[in-house]
Structure 1
Amino acid sequence: MEPADIPGVVATAAACFPDHFEAQGCFEERLALFPQGCFVLASGEEVRGYLIVYPWPAGAVPPLNSALGGLPDQREAFYLHDLALQDPLRGKGHTRPIVEQAAAMLRAMGGRSLALVSVNDSVPFWRAMGFEPVVPDASLTAKLASYGEDARYMVRAL
């Protein structure tokens, strides 16, 4: 991902996650903080999908549509912020390769786990990618509430 890709990332996010708005500044900050964890799928200059991952404490969920302010120094736990593909590309085999590429990169950096919040009834999809739901404690349950009723915290060992 490059800075010029951000408008396409924002448009893709809005189309894929209409109930989970995040402003352009969120994506710009994540790219600035951890560029090696930001990927796009493009057709020419048009962004058709993206994946964003960065270091984040295990068991924690970043608030939606907010600045992180920085990243933790540890590089054992990572958070998959988003994986989004525009409708015409879904089901065409694009997701597994980028998830596996990101996982391999994180393992090479010393990563031990990758977590995410599943939304839009996507638990079966993420299970197929090796993630398992985690029973949340009260604090995590409260944080998941902003993601919607079907939000589930899931983790994959790297």
Structure 2
Amino acid sequence: MKHQWRPMVAADLPEVMAMAAVVHAGYFEEEQVFAERLALFAAGCWIAERTDGALPPQPVGYAVMHPARLGYPPSLNSLLHTLDDHADCLYLHDVALLADARGAGLGHALLAILREQMRHSGLTQAALVAVHSSRPYWEAAGFAVLQQMPAALSEKLASYDRQAVYMVMTSTDAIG
């Protein structure tokens, strides 16, 4: 099976919601959150598809990222209203892959997209909140737990689960 990422469009939002319900049960976000991220920063919204020759491509995952301030991610299920003028990192807001798409190289391909978007945006840092015990995956990808967390960040993390951690990746090749 072949898998690939393509830019997200508004017509993908019902599929995004269906995949989020499967992959991120317990971390509900309304469709308007995804629609707003797409409207504010379309370059950071992606759909993973399985492409099997004669069959129409089938969505198997999605990713949403946008510029933000390091250490200050938006709360779960909240609107941004606008991108932060003082953004200093690319925040990987959400990644979801259906079980049968895992191990197909989509994570590696997404990291290449993330790095390219960092370069394009002139950002040298990326951040995310690791949930579902995904910390080892993100560490292997070059992310590390932020050691000095603002109190507000600790409160936000508590709304996810006890294992949620805020992670940062610095890329010296992001600018250039």
1:91 maps to which residue?
103
1:45 to partner: Cα distance: 4.9
1:131 maps to which residue?
143
The number of residues matched between the two structures is: 158
2:166 maps to which residue?
153
**Conserved 8 A contact 2:63-2:94:** yes
Divergent runs of 4+, >4 A: none
Partner letter of residue 46 of structure 2? F
1:147 to partner: Cα distance: 1.0
CA distance in 2, matches of 1:74, 1:97: 28
**Deviation digits for residues 74-132 of structure 1, max 9, x if unmatched?**
45311100111101011121111112122122123201110000001100010111100
Tell me which of 40, 44, 66 is aligned to 1:37: 44
1:7 maps to which residue?
14
Tell me which of 55, 59, 69 is aligned to 2:71: 59
2:31 maps to which residue?
24
CA distance in 2, matches of 1:82, 1:137: 21
Give TM-score, length-normalised by structure 1: 0.94
CA distance in 2, matches of 1:45, 1:6: 16
Give TM-score, length-normalised by structure 2: 0.85
CA distance in 1, matches of 2:75, 2:119: 25
1:82 maps to which residue?
94
CA distance in 1, matches of 2:151, 2:11: 40
1:42 to partner: Cα distance: 2.0
**Conserved 8 A contact 1:61-1:144:** no
CA distance in 1, matches of 2:87, 2:154: 24
Partner letter of residue 17 of structure 2? V
**Conserved 8 A contact 2:71-2:150:** no
CA distance in 2, matches of 1:17, 1:61: 18
- Structure 1 unaligned regions, length at least 5: none
Partner letter of residue 79 of structure 1? Y
Residues 1:122 and 2:129 are matched in the alignment: no
